[in-house]
Structure 1
Amino acid sequence: MIKYIIIGLLLVFGTADSFAQLKSENSKKPNVVLINVDDLGWADLCFMGSAYYETPNLDKLSTESKVFLHAYAGASNCAPSRATMITGRYPMTHGIYTVDPADRGDKRTRQLIAFPNAKAIQDSLYTLGKFFKDNGYRTGTFGKWHVSDDPLDHGFDVNIAGSHRGNPGKDGYFSPYNVNLKAKVEGEYLTDRLTDEAISFVRENKDNSFFLYLPFYTVHSPLMGKPELEENYRNKKGGKGQSNPVYAAMIQSMDENVGRLLAVLDNLNLTDNTLIIFTSDNGGIRATSYQDPLRAGKGSYYEGGIRVPLLIKWQNQIKPSVENTPVTQMDFYPTLQALIAPSGNLELDGESILPLLREEELVERDLFWHFPIYLEAYDSKEDDSRDPLFRTRPGSVIRSGDWKLHQYFEDGGLELYNLKDDPSEGNNLATSNPEKAQELLRKLEKWRAENGAPIPSTKNPDYDPAFEKAEIEKALN
């Protein structure tokens, strides 16, 4: 069982009062800092149990935060996860189900025609950027945007290095960059530079209310760390599936830069009036870093693909604690609305988790995911997916309490797991507990009907079952 170092440290730091009343309408509204790391796995941090990666700044932040152990991304890969978080809506609204195209993988191994996939969120959607701007905030985004061409069209006053681009490209972490950013110093590191720009934004707006969105490109491939940090890990003993010194160096650089930003907030006396959210856009790539005990990784709807780290800090307002209630990143938007503009009437699909931040119970609810698309395998021997050719085939998922049901559209397959007893999703109970499987399936079907979730049904004329069988056998040998 993972030993969370935060549990002991909370005895020292967990003395904050319960969630205090907001200041009067005439006082400065709280700043919001949302840090979103790219492809950082649930177990890729020291405070989440890793004995290999070194994250002292985030370890400290965890002792000052509410730490959510069952936090979920809205999707298992970058673009749909970000679109869902930034709009507060399911993919059925913004239309992004995957990083385009939706029919990845050999066409001869796909039984169905994937549902069409949008490449960008619509300008008409009321994003978090627009929400904050309309409520008097200065807004800035620094890093990977990935859901449209320009975040300035979606409520942001400042955009540094954000576009439709999903990764830094070949050799892209050291200048000269491939992203739209000119180096100030030859050979500078992208993670450092984005943090420099974020810090400048904080300094320039220290007397205003601001929303700072810091979606680091790191730790997305290509794996490129600072050589001096890589050396720290080359002779360090790793654990099962966590032993890549380059990836570890990238994580350490990210941690150092989070520490730099937090130090500036402290030095400017802004910490008391700043809500800080730290998370990742989806699970980590399993071939790079195992998320044990969680199964699989990025691109999969097993736990390793969608469960993510999540810290929320607001000094003297949110009591540091460990929270086991399942939440989703789609909850950020309604939570921030309830905090900043509670009289607003926005159509959002998530739910405010202010009760949890106040140390109150949240009414139990079910969480849903829908993916009418295909994602090909990264590494057939490492992915730990349902089959070795795809991380994801078309289907839907529901988490209801400790139970989780996967439904697959190609063959009607059902997988039922009790996450409390089986977080690795290794023991399919759909046959031995058909009553629970059918109960969750009915909930899933009702949700799909209510939300207009499309189910692909057109047969793929290029599908070749003999070829698929041969490819599966080849991958397994």
Structure 2
Amino acid sequence: MKWIVAALAVFIGCAGYASDIRQPNIVMVMVDDLGLYDLNCYGYKAVDTPNANKLAEEGMFFSNAYAGSTVCTPSRAAVISGQAPARLHLTNHISNQHFAPENPILLNAPEVTALPPETVTFAEKLRDNGYSCGFFGKWHLSRQKPDASNRVVDERTQPDNQGFENNVGGNGNGGPPGGWFSPYKNPYLPNGPEGEYLPERLANEAVAYMEANKDKPFLIAMWNYTVHSPIETTQELTDKYKARKQAGAKVGNPVYAGMVEAADNVLGRLLQKIDELGLRDNTLVMLTSDNGGFNYGVTDHPPLRGTKSWLFEGGLRIPLIVRWPGKVKPGSVSEERVTHLDFFPTFMEAAGIAVGPDQILDGESMVPVLAGTGGMQRDAVYFHYPNYAWHAKNRLGGAIIQGDFKLLNWYDDDSVELYNLKNDPSEKQDLAARNPELAERLKRKFKKWLKDVDANMPVENPEHRDAGERS
């Protein structure tokens, strides 16, 4: 329970912060499926992301940030709760039972199919301490009804019952139900004029909310549907990047590049409004993604191996930029290994809100890193993905990263792979056979973590065993 003691020491120590000055506004922008190298400031030089670039110049750029999981729903659960998806038993898409390949060795681990209503979210903590909390975009923590209504099974799992006073567009869908242009076919987002572009609509809603709540601390959770499929954007942006590609620029997929710029435009609208309201100096702005980038012909992530839904680095590494004037040194770069689990305790410390002993948090505050006064204290980070992804090709397993080393543990045969991420970020050289003692030590540590968080594990498929016996 060292993490509880450490969290209490930090939060109790700063509990008086909010009584002296107004608590900072928090604007969290999460771009769906944005890969580590999909922003101009992270290396995608053919795409224009001036607002992300500006944020990096004025804040802290993280080069070693990780998602809470390799797919949407568990990562979002990690963000909103500060708890490991393994602890929540919310480990994959909602619901994923149809993703298993034909006659697999293992069946999916038992899973929770929506964020449990009793889960304490960072929005609830902020709301209870004087914040106005607005949600805009993709939620994906509720379970959809099995019909065409696009409504959820249990409204208690929706944003407006999880600490937010409003919900603009969030439901259980992984992508925009009606596509990118109005009519949206989303019961949680009234249609706009025909052809209205969804990212622009969400930005309009968010800046209006900021205007209405400017006189008290506010939280804006702008969880964009972009850049998730379907791969489509405005004709103007599509034409721009088609022309750029034809001129010889390394654009990749022009439509996807346009989607990235559209997401950056949303960030720009929020930053502009913050300045208009005179709130820049007291607003923490975070830009990140929910998991590693999508692939399938629209983007890539070399030298990283894998993409969304894989336990390799391409599925787990994410962009992260934080601006907090007066706290974060402009233009600073951090190589600290941070994860989605750290956002909840970071927001609590930033707002001066103490976390009680009954609140389980698996992350730790990033404030010392942001302020340049210290580093992260944990000795390892963990991942548990015991379910098949939508492509049904991934191998069920988990991972531990400690120092420079990453161990993958595959659940079908309990085998391991060991990589030195500092020397081999592409995860090409498996060192397990050459370092059996290190591999075994990390494996034991990982297994202990699985037990500590009461992780659900995949189960053997009796049909597969029977097939083997008959052959």
Scaled by the length of structure 2, the TM-score of the pair is: 0.88
Query: Alpha-carbon deviations, 1:336-357, whole Å to 9, x = none?
Result: 2222244331321111111111
Distance change >3 Å, CA 48–CA 65, structure 1 → 2: same
How many residues were matched structurally? 434
Query: Alpha-carbon deviations, 1:383-437, whole Å to 9, x = none?
Result: xxxxxx61x3221100111110100010222111111111111111111221221
Aligned to 1:301: 311
Aligned to 1:6: none
Contact 2:46 2:250 in 1 (8 A): no
Distance 2:291 2:465 in 1: 30
Give the Å deviation of 1:465. 7.5
Matched residue SS, 2:191: coil
Distance change >3 Å, CA 132–CA 21, structure 1 → 2: closer
Matched residue SS, 1:461: helix
- List aligned pairs for 1:287-436, cutoff 5 A: 287=296, 288-320=298-330, 321-345=332-356, 346-359=359-372, 360-377=374-391, 390=393, 392-436=394-438
Contact 2:74 2:92 in 1 (8 A): yes
Distance 2:320 2:375 in 1: 18
Give the Å deviation of 1:274. 0.5
Aligned to 1:230: 238
Distance change >3 Å, CA 430–CA 316, structure 1 → 2: same
- List aligned pairs for 1:79-228, cutoff 5 A: 79-105=73-99, 107-148=101-142, 149=152, 150-169=158-177, 172-180=179-187, 181-228=189-236
Distance 2:35 2:206 in 1: 23
Structure ranking higher on relative contact order (CA contacts 8 Å, 6+ apart): 2
Give the Å deviation of 1:146. 1.1
Give the Å deviation of 1:291. 0.9
Contact 2:96 2:390 in 1 (8 A): no
Distance 1:282 1:240 in 2: 27
Query: 1:72 and 2:66 equivalent?
Result: yes
Aligned to 1:251: 260
Give the Å deviation of 1:442. 1.5
Aligned to 1:278: 287
Contact 1:110 1:460 in 2 (8 A): no
Distance 2:69 2:25 in 1: 27
Query: Alpha-carbon deviations, 1:149-189, whole Å to 9, x = none?
Result: 4211111101111111221135x101111223233332110
Query: Alpha-carbon deviations, 1:53-86, whole Å to 9, x = none?
Result: 2211111111111111111110111111101110
Give the Å deviation of 1:196. 0.3
Aligned to 2:3: none
Aligned to 1:3: none
- Residue ranges of structure 2 left out of the alignment (5+ in a row): 1-13, 143-151, 153-157
Give the Å deviation of 1:461. 0.9
TM-align CA RMSD: 2.2
Distance change >3 Å, CA 25–CA 44, structure 1 → 2: same
The one-letter code of the counterpart of 2:300 is: Y
Distance change >3 Å, CA 242–CA 464, structure 1 → 2: farther
Distance 2:345 2:257 in 1: 34
Contact 1:109 1:463 in 2 (8 A): no
Matched residue SS, 1:198: helix
The one-letter code of the counterpart of 1:449 is: K
Distance 1:241 1:438 in 2: 43
The one-letter code of the counterpart of 1:368 is: Y
Distance 1:254 1:463 in 2: 47
Give the Å deviation of 1:21. 12
Distance change >3 Å, CA 246–CA 453, structure 1 → 2: same
Give the Å deviation of 1:457. 3.5
Contact 2:70 2:292 in 1 (8 A): yes
Scaled by the length of structure 1, the TM-score of the pair is: 0.87
Distance change >3 Å, CA 176–CA 323, structure 1 → 2: same
Give the Å deviation of 1:129. 1.6
Distance 1:193 1:455 in 2: 41
Aligned to 2:441: 439
Distance change >3 Å, CA 458–CA 240, structure 1 → 2: farther
Distance 2:207 2:35 in 1: 25
Contact 1:65 1:312 in 2 (8 A): yes
Aligned to 2:8: none
